A and B are shown apart, each in its own frame.
Chain A
Amino acid sequence: MDLKKVDSILEKHGCRHSEVIGIMQDLQEIENYLPQEMLRYISGKLELKLTRIFDIATFYKCFSLVPRGRHIVRVCCGTACHLGGAARNLEQVKRLLNVEAGETTDDRNFSLETVNCLGTCALAPVIVVDGDYYDAVHPGKIENILSGYYNAESEG
């Protein structure tokens, strides 16, 4: 845990209890998830009970308590995407990666997530990989989309 980074985030938010959600969002950006030791540390610093921090971390969907993969595949399951076949797309991603939604592949290359709506409904159905948007996705396109995210990490 990079204490310097954590401290500077706490300082930016003025260590206020009301800022705890924002603090945790910023902290999550460091390692893409919230390690337990980090939460224990801020609990002490903010003088805020660990149970409350855990409550927040599990209530809000954007927080993860487990490490995530190098690439995050987000399948939009908004209404427009659903009508366009998001469920079929999700099935296909699950089959290809061999994980369920919310899980990470064994090689830590991909995490699969579903999202309620990305607000890009006009492009439905949408899949986003690390901020790259793919529109009008159908099951036949998915293997090709994912294939672009295997190369960079081949060294391990």
Chain B
Amino acid sequence: MKRIGTVSGLEELRGSILKKKDPEKTIIRICNTGCRARRSSKVIAAFEREIVDQALQDRIEIKGTGCHGFCEMGPIVVVDPANIFYCRVRPEDVADILSETALKGKVLERLVWKDPHTKEPVIFEKDIPFYEKQKKIVSHNSGRIDPTDIEDYIAVEGYKALAKSLTAMTPAEVVETAVASGIRGRGGGGFPTGIKWRICSNAPGDTKYIIANGDEGDPGAFMDRSLMEGDPHSIIEGMIIGGYAIGARQGIIYVRDEYPIAIMHLSCAIKQAEEYGLLGRDILGSAFDFTLKISRGAGAFVCGEETALMISIEGRSGTPRSRPPYPAIEGLWGKPTVLNNVETFANIPQIILNGAPWYSAIGTSGSKGTKIFSLVGKVRNTGLVEVETGTTLREIIFEIGGGIRKGKRFKAVQTGGPSGGCIPISKIDMPVDYDSLREAGAIMGSGGMIVMDETSCMVDVARYFINFLMFESCGKCVPCREGLKQMHEILKNICEGRGQRGDIELLSDLAGVMTTASLCALGGTAPNPVLSTIRYFRDEYEAHIFDKKCPAGVCKNLFEYVIDEERCNGCTLCQLRCPQGAISGEKKKPHVIDRERCIKCGICYSICRREAIRVK
């Protein structure tokens, strides 16, 4: 019944879907993925209940969508066609949104975004500075379509690029379009995607595989999660096109186990694509067969590395192997395999639809297109942002991100996850692209961008990443396994006040060995967080080692909590909550902390409403 057998069948279906849509109908879009952590599902349930109660089913449609990007303000609700943007919506607000906004077109000022400086309300998404500077190519569907409904995707030109590839282009033409577009892998390495496809398509063999890497292991990054959850069909479409280009008839999406909604939405999308004949045999009458399945990760960071990932799909513990042979020649089950990041695949339909010249006109000379970043940490507007490559860090952090929270000072931004580095304020006007970041000692990585302020200790950040990698190292090669252990030991000593003269040099020496001698990129890039913090924040290392002080107040042995007498109004809250009974003082008079008893649990620091607890 539903199966589409031809390209004209797809166009007819698209036409009938669009015809059914009433442009005047009120559609309320709510994030049903990332915002679920802020209980958006309760808001959706409230809408659904209220609509039935008020018998509005014919007039108003509720649409659960993927991420709108502005996670800081979630749960986000957009009322269409007027495009009114509401932030931090609670179930209590639902009745008003329906009766006032949906039915009368009245804007509820209490729910719209307000400029933090001028307090001016901003009604429409496009006018909010967070969105103004973005260029959404890959994430444009997320937040707009229902990811669990293939027809919603087809309505927005979905699977049109697939139809074009299969019927109007040869596999070689698809490969060359990818090459000409200049797109580079979005997973971290930045290898030109088209070249990888060309190598694999030229590799001998009838059986080939294509794999999407959705094992987004970098802590602090969630771009891939939002794409898989919010627009799974664009990834699937990109993979089918890639399979056609290289001659693979079987594709696998490897998804992190920590992302249950992504697994659910992808499974649903695959099932629907099969029902519509967009996966399976003889797709759109082109005689091309392609099947797709999901492989769930099981919680191992190293499986983001391509050879380890393939070994994991084969059902073994995922430890990397040495390359060459590269997977494009010898990959999954020993067959030629292309592995790309999910964001790379989501770019492909756009490149095919609009052509390589269109794509290569976006971005910088060496880094084409856009990149999605997860902008998090001490920045005011946290969330996902998609910008043209070459946009400066200042634009991303201060214009889109709205600067640093609570009026604190910017210290650094960490990009590239555990393989990346920290970039200081002096480089804030640097364009963000693969090459500039590498030059600055960081990497593009998968797109995590973690902003740090004066309360972030850079030695602790280095220790954090090395500790992370020490646990995630598979242990197969010595430089990585032992190097990380020793580095961690040194950094731990520094953070706990046992640092010694020569530690910084020893760290640098170890880093050199690990970079040269490790088997895979995990160990090879592991020293980056240490090297970049030493390069830009050597003074903080020295303060820890020589003065035994942690200027940021993070390393427990190297600071004390004190109460600022000027600020403390003696409200007694900290005294009541201190688990050690370490705080004393009379009501309405400044309190004091007993240094001997304090265990630095941080409760007083986090609950004081007057910010009277200071770090010394």
Contacts and interface: CB of A to CB of B under 8 A. Distances in A.
Interface string B13-46: 0000000000000000000001011100000000
B257 A140 contact: no
Interface string B313-336: 111111000000000000000000
Quick one: which of B219, B414, B452 has the most chain A CB within 10 A? Answer: B219
B376 interface: yes
A18 B314 contact: yes
A50 interface: no
A20 B298 CA distance: 11
Interface in B451-482: 452, 456, 461, 464-465, 468, 472, 474
A70 interface: no
A85 B313 CA distance: 35
A22 B296 contact: yes
A85 B34 CA distance: 21
Given A19-B315, A59-B317, A138 B607 contact: yes
Contacts of B452: 83
Contacts of A123: 37-38, 71
B318 A59 contact: yes
Interface string A33-62: 000000000000000000010011001111
B315 A135 contact: no
Interface in B530-588: 577, 579
A25 to B, nearest CB: 6
A119 B313 CA distance: 23
A135 B558 CA distance: 28
B298 A21 contact: yes
Contact of B376 (A121, A133, A139): A121
A4 interface: no
Contacts of A138: 602-603, 606-607
A121 B222 CA distance: 7
Contacts of A55: 316-317
Given A56-B317, A77-B219, A83-B450, A115 B37 contact: no
B34 A120 contact: yes
A55 B296 CA distance: 17
B217 interface: yes
Nearest to A18: B315
A107 to B, nearest CB: 21
B219 A122 contact: no
Given A138-B607, A139-B606, A140-B603, A80 B296 contact: no
A94 to B, nearest CB: 11
A128 to B, nearest CB: 8
Given A59-B317, A61-B300, A78-B219, A121 B374 contact: yes
A61 B602 contact: no
Interface-central residue, A91, A117, A138, A139, by most chain B CB under 10 Å:
A117
B601 A139 contact: yes
B580 to A, nearest CB: 10
B378 A83 contact: yes
A79 B579 contact: no
A85 B219 contact: no
Interface residues of B, number: 56
A116 B298 CA distance: 12
B295 to A, nearest CB: 7
A25 B298 contact: yes
A139 B378 CA distance: 18
A79 B318 contact: no
B398 interface: no
Given A22-B296, A119-B225, A79 B448 contact: yes
Contact of B258 (A79, A95, A117, A133): A117
Contact of B383 (A24, A25, A79, A122): A122
In the complex, which of the residues A82, A83, A92, A123 has the most CB atoms of chain B within 10 Å of its own CB atom?
Answer: A83
A61 B298 contact: yes
A12 interface: no
B377 interface: yes
Contacts of A10: none
Contacts of B177: none
A149 interface: no
Given A78-B220, A92-B601, A116 B37 contact: no
Nearest to B579: A95
Contacts of B472: 116
B577 A140 contact: yes
B382 interface: yes
Contacts of A135: 37-38
Interface in A91-110: 91-92, 95
Given A121-B221, A139-B601, A25 B296 contact: yes
Given A25-B296, A56-B316, A60-B317, A139 B450 contact: no
A146 interface: no
Given A117-B221, A122-B71, A60 B298 contact: yes
A5 interface: no
Contact of B299 (A60, A81, A120): A60
Contacts of B153: none
B301 interface: yes
Given A61-B299, A123-B38, A79 B414 contact: yes
Contacts of A118: 258
Contacts of B414: 79
A82 B461 CA distance: 9
A79 B220 contact: yes
A52 B382 CA distance: 43
B222 to A, nearest CB: 4
Given A25-B298, A121-B222, A138-B602, A79 B38 contact: no
A112 interface: no
Contacts of A59: 300, 317-318, 474
A104 to B, nearest CB: 18
B146 interface: no
A27 interface: no
Nearest to A82: B464
Contacts of A62: 257, 298-299
A95 B600 CA distance: 12
B377 to A, nearest CB: 5
Given A88-B606, A121-B376, A124-B376, 4 more contacts: A56-B315, A62-B257, A85-B606, A118-B258
12 contacts: A21-B298, A24-B298, A63-B298, A82-B461, A82-B464, A83-B456, A91-B601, A116-B217, A121-B220, A123-B71, A138-B607, A140-B607
Give 5 closest A-B pairs by Cβ, nearest first.
A122-B71, A61-B299, A138-B606, A79-B220, A60-B298
Interface of B: 34, 36-38, 71-72, 74, 216-222, 225, 257-259, 295-296, 298-301, 312-318, 374, 376-378, 382-383, 414, 417, 448, 450, 452, 456, 461, 464-465, 468, 472, 474, 577, 579, 601-603, 606-607
